[in-house]
Amino acid sequence: MAYNCVVLAKQVPDTKRITGQAMNEDGTVNRAALPAIFNPEDLNALEMALQIKEQYGGKVTVITMGLPAAAEILRQSLYRGADDVILITDKRCAASDTLATSYILSCAVRKLNPDIVLCGRQAIDGDTAQVGPQVAEKLGVPQITYTEQILSLNGKTITARRSIGNGWQEVRTKLPVLLTVVDTANEPRIPAAKRLMKYKSARCRIEIEAMAKQDPSIDVDAVCRQLEQKGLLIRQWDLDILGADLKWCGRDGSPTKVHRIQSVVLTAKETKSVEPTQEAIEAMIHELIVDHTIG
Amino acid sequence: MIEVNKQGEVWVFAEQHAGTLEDTSIELLSKGRQLADQLKVPLAAVLLGDRVEPLCVRLGQYGADKVYLAEHPLLNHYQTSSYAKVLDELIHKHKPQIMLYGATPVGRDLAPRVASALKAGLTADCTDLQIGRHEIPSTGKVYENLLLQIRPAFGGNIIATIINYDRWPQMATVREGVMPMPEPDGRRKAQIVRENISLLPDDLMLEILAEHRQPKKVNLKASRIIVAGGAGVGSKENFKLIWDLAHCLGGAPAATRAAVDLGFIDRDHQVGQTGTTVRPVLYIAVGISGAIQHQAGMSGSQKIIAINNDPEAPIFQIAHYKILGDLNQVVPMMIKAIREKV
Ligand SMILES: Cc1cc2nc3c(=O)[nH]c(=O)nc-3n(C[C@H](O)[C@H](O)[C@H](O)COP(=O)(O)OP(=O)(O)OC[C@H]3O[C@@H](n4cnc5c(N)ncnc54)[C@H](O)[C@@H]3O)c2cc1C
């Protein structure tokens, strides 16, 4: 039996490559100075979905919510083998916390009526791991968090192995289901050269509109029509298309607010330099014994 | 949605497995006690399970004024759907103002599900909690006595303080090991509030077919002294230096993620943002550069000794004793000095 899989993915700043320039004076992050990447564990989720499709047949749709630039990870999804991709972009999504984000995403997922929803365990910018379970709750479906492996799928049920920190569990549940996938689940494939050539010109409407602002000779409607004929127009949804209740979106739908942001500067109260000689080290050990740190 | 209720209690989710309480629940009680005292409201533990009543004694000794006890055969094993359903009911019924969970695999599976059902806020993986005020600059409106939920974000490069003021409860998961373990007080006793709950087999969405839990090989959180090695140690063989130094100090060996990834030592020993958070009396960092993600797990140590041959290594900025030199010479000198003195 074939499965309709939906993958939720996020474009994130590459927090691993944070440098001095990426931090503003006031301690906030200058997102513009950081490269934007496909959230790593979302790639593991996509890989799991593609493997389901290869083994059982079906379809993989990738949804992302974000700024127009997030269309880039949708193109990358197409290069890797996704059948369909959707960008949710709407100014009214801004300032959404995990609760509001999960509401908006759940509206989109519901429209696609999937058997399996997959997302990465967590995004590297927020590290909350909350959106997956919150989408599952809103859809009223079971969740399997920290999924490491799908053991079997038989039309109605899924059996999977999940990590529980200091061990693992094998669990079975009915479809539809939401899985959050960890980085040890698989090795995400690299983009396929043929698909890259085919989809590199895929665009969504808002990207064409931005191009038209630079170059007024571009006829947005005409370009979109051409792309659509070639199967290269990326679907773009806003909150109206989703039928979302604005009360649960953006700032209004977000109970958590930021009170303060500080950059991390850690310094010791007093530092002693100790020469790498036997006498100096003996003196240090003596000091630590006297103040009852050791012994 | 639960309206703001300033008289609401402070609650801690008491996580247990097979009748044993998780350490984080006890850590949370000590923090919860402080918060409840500041707010002048009771501190309660919420205990779900099957025949778990004996745990109420300990919850009382560690600071809970009350224990809300929900016992049912279907709560025997943790499951998202059944546990979330019961918590959702109890929170609606008693309207606590604060609800804390350990940022354990269970807490991080359960809390978002509950928050979504309650349409409440939730802050993940907090490293500190305080009570404070918040002013909205544009309107000048002031909210007193809010829960300040403090957590690293952006790969540990910033510390964000999160609040919620217009919906209750204020909920957070709290990182394991960041709150000190309290001493039990044998005279303290919690009032037990038994909750009648009804659950049906259909409330269980999952079947647990098999489970394997390894006891942790090392308990870094309980160690007074930790000797941690980094990539600079160079090889698994050379990591023997770390084990030897730890051994003669009666401490535990630990490592950076880089050292774990290189196969020098088991992942159980990893300290840091994605490893264990530790607060020992003494932390000896050997051949460790001191990346922010590593510091996130050890900067709460009372004393830090850093051994590194690079004067620019960031670890030196937080070390109390800095030894600029080659670890292959310095560590044997330390072992010799300790053997002679102790
Ligand atoms: C999302 C994320 C999460 C992470 N989580 C963690 C985590 O939980 N814990 C963690 O530790 N890291 C974590 N990291 C990795 C972290 O960023 C660093 O890569 C890691 O801590 C570096 O380990 P290290 O100090 O052992 O290695 P290095 O940075 O390679 O440093 C080795 C040090 O050894 C010194 N050295 C070399 N030879 C000698 C010698 N002979 N004598 C003395 N000194 C010597 C060098 O000068 C250098 O300073 C995480 C990273 C990311 C992106």
- For B42-64, the pLDDT digits (tens) are 999 999 999 999 999 999 999 99
List pocket residues of ligand 1, CB cut-off 6 Å: A 16, 124; B 155, 230-232, 256-259, 270-275, 287-289, 291, 293-294, 297, 307-310, 313, 326-328
Q: Of A7, A189, A235, whose CA–CA distance to A80 is shortest? A: A189
With beta carbons less than 8 A apart as the criterion, state whether A161 and A151 touch.
Answer: yes
Q: Which pTM was predicted?
A: 0.84
Name which of A125, A145, A271 is nearest B109 (Cβ-Cβ). Answer: A145
Q: Whose CA is nearest to atom 14 of ligand 1?
A: B293
Mean pLDDT confidence for B63-75: 97
Which chain B positions have a beta carbon within 8 Å of A169's beta carbon? 208, 210-212
Per-residue pLDDT band for B165 (boundaries 50, 70, 90) equals: very high
Task: Sort out which chain B residues have CB atoms less than 8 A from A289's CB and list them.
Answer: 341-342
Measured between alpha carbons, how far is A59 from A42 in angstroms, rounded to an integer?
17
- Among B116, B214, B247, B327, the strongest candidate for a mutation testing the A interface, having the largest count of A CBs within 10 A, is B116
Question: How far away, in angstroms, is B309 Cα from ligand 1 center?
Answer: 13
CA distance B156 to A16: 10
pLDDT digits 0-9 by tens, B107-148: 999 999 999 999 999 999 998 999 999 999 899 999 999 999
Cα–Cα distances (Å) from B73 to A174, B78, B197, B199, in that order, read: 22, 11, 11, 9
Residue A285 to residue B121, Cβ atoms within 8 A: no
- Report the distance separating Cα B100 and Cα A105, nearest Å: 26
SS3 at position A173: strand
Q: Is the pLDDT of residue A28 over 70?
A: no
Per DSSP (E only), the strands in A69-210 are 84-88, 116-120, 143-153, 157-163, 167-174, 177-181, 203-204
A269: chain B residues, CB-CB within 8 Å: 320
Q: If you count them, how many residues does chain B have?
A: 342
Nearest-angstrom CA–CA distance, B61 and B56: 9
- Residue A26, pLDDT above cutoff 70: no
Least confident range from A86-95, A263-272, B167-176: namely A263-272
Nearest to B176 by CA among B125, B121, B137, B212: B125
Q: What's the pLDDT score for residue A25? A: 63
Q: What is the pLDDT of residues A216-233, one digit of tens each?
A: 999 999 999 999 999 999
Residue A124 pLDDT > 60, yes or no?
A: yes
Residue B171 makes CB contacts below 8 A (sequence gap 6+) with B98, B99, B100, B101, B111, B114, B115, B120, B121, B122, B123
- Quote the minimal CA–CA distance from B190 to chain A in Å: 31
- Chain B, nearest residue to A27 by Cα: B158
B163: chain A residues, CB-CB within 8 Å: 256-259
CA distance B195 to chain A (A): 24
Better pLDDT: A23 or B289: B289
Q: What are the structure tokens assigned to B236, written together?
A: 């698994």
What is the maximum span of chain B, computed from C-alpha positions, in angstroms? 66
> Is it the case that residue A29 has pLDDT exceeding 70?
no
pLDDT above 90 covers a percentage of chain A that reads 84
Residue A172 has pLDDT above 60, yes or no: yes
What is the reported pLDDT for B134? 97
Instruction: Say whether the peptide bond before residue B180 is cis (omega within 30 degrees of 0).
Output: no
Q: How far apart are CA A105 and CA A131, in angstroms?
A: 9
Average pLDDT, integer, range A235-256: 97
Amino acid in position B197: I
Which residues, other chains included, contact A56 with Cβ-Cβ below 8 Å and sequence gap of 6+? A1, A2, A3, A153
Predicted pLDDT at B155: 73
For residue B104, pLDDT beyond 90: yes
The stretch A87-116 carries a mean pLDDT of 97
